[in-house]
Structure 1
């Protein structure tokens, strides 16, 4: 169940909007140029598929979006919990990299969640939209939009990434500490679980 929470950018004390309805999420994000849609999940994928298998499974959707938006590069990335320390260090470094507010000057940030979950925080005008995405969600953050991403303390996700720029992910960090003011991924997951009860 995808969750959208909108607050004033002053802090999370006042909730402007809270919804798990896909149509309401799409409508709330559309004025900011944010694309939100859901794709049907493939139930025949193995638990930890390689990138080629993922791209083949979603070939029709990927090709249609790539043609419509003229994406130059498409790849598959993810993190899965492992018992070895190396995974923990990698996951911690990756999480820290994306947790600071940033923009992208030359590209949109478009992600389709094949498995797992992650939270995008969009700082648009005087509001912050937290979108807890899960398998089946496609989110497109327009270039120039201030945002950050949290994958949680124990990341578990697989995403298809779409880039117009062949250089891939290039972030311009704003230097703001705004991300520290808002509930993190794990808090959003807990809230979603409470709402589902």
Structure 2
């Protein structure tokens, strides 16, 4: 089940609200310019699957999303609990950063905690299989795959070079992680 926890930056230990209904999550995020949808993720993929296998299994949906929304680049995160670099991959996403492009993240399997720092609030979205989150360029964010990861997600970017740039702010370390 997808969950949205909304925190004020001054109180990272206590969420102001916790939402579990899809419509409530989608409308709360929409107020911040973030899209939240559900798409069928019917093709079984295991965490740790190779990028080509993931993209091939979801080629039709990826092509449709790219055509409808004007995105031009893709990548995959596919990490299982036995991945030899799981700790390094987790650390890579845990610091607050911004992308130089609009980003769509389509969750194919497993789950991850996607946190968005917008104004004085942090919107921590527990995303699971079938969730699609659309984040505008420049949104401050971090992502946690957990201590025992099981996640497969396809990312789409509106620019070929939508690289992440660290903000240098320590805020992400103050908020609950996926396993907390």
Using structure 2 for the length normalisation, give the TM-score.
Answer: 0.90
**Where does residue 192 of structure 1 map in the other structure?**
none
**Where does residue 96 of structure 1 map in the other structure?**
91
Matched positions, count? 179
Q: Is the 2:46–2:109 Cα contact (8 Å) retained in structure 1?
A: no
Q: Does 1:128 align with 2:122?
A: yes
Partner residue of 1:179 out of 158, 168, 172: 172
Q: Shift of residue 155 of structure 1?
A: 1.5
User: Superposition pairs for residues 113-192 of structure 1, below 5 Å?
Assistant: 113-167=107-161, 170-187=163-180
Separation in structure 1 between the aligned mates of residue 145 and residue 39 of structure 2, nearest angstrom = 21
Separation in structure 1 between the aligned mates of residue 86 and residue 46 of structure 2, nearest angstrom = 19
Q: 1:51 to 1:100 in 2, by over 3 A?
A: closer
2:16 aligned counterpart, secondary structure: strand
Q: CA RMSD in A?
A: 1.8
Separation in structure 2 between the aligned mates of residue 122 and residue 144 of structure 1, nearest angstrom = 11
The Cα offsets for residues 6-28 of structure 1, whole Å up to 9 and x where unpaired, read as 01011224422101111111100
**Where does residue 23 of structure 1 map in the other structure?**
23
1:186 aligned counterpart, secondary structure: coil
Separation in structure 2 between the aligned mates of residue 74 and residue 171 of structure 1, nearest angstrom = 14
Consecutive unaligned residues of structure 2, counting only runs of 5 or more, are none
**Where does residue 6 of structure 2 map in the other structure?**
6
Q: 1:119 to 1:143 in 2, by over 3 A?
A: same
**Where does residue 81 of structure 2 map in the other structure?**
81
Separation in structure 1 between the aligned mates of residue 140 and residue 123 of structure 2, nearest angstrom = 11
Consecutive unaligned residues of structure 1, counting only runs of 5 or more, are 188-197
1:162 aligned counterpart, secondary structure: strand
**Where does residue 190 of structure 1 map in the other structure?**
none
Q: Shift of residue 103 of structure 1?
A: 1.0
Q: Shift of residue 46 of structure 1?
A: 5.0
Q: Shift of residue 165 of structure 1?
A: 2.2
Larger radius of gyration: 1
Q: 1:58 to 1:16 in 2, by over 3 A?
A: same
Q: Is the 1:11–1:181 Cα contact (8 Å) retained in structure 2?
A: no
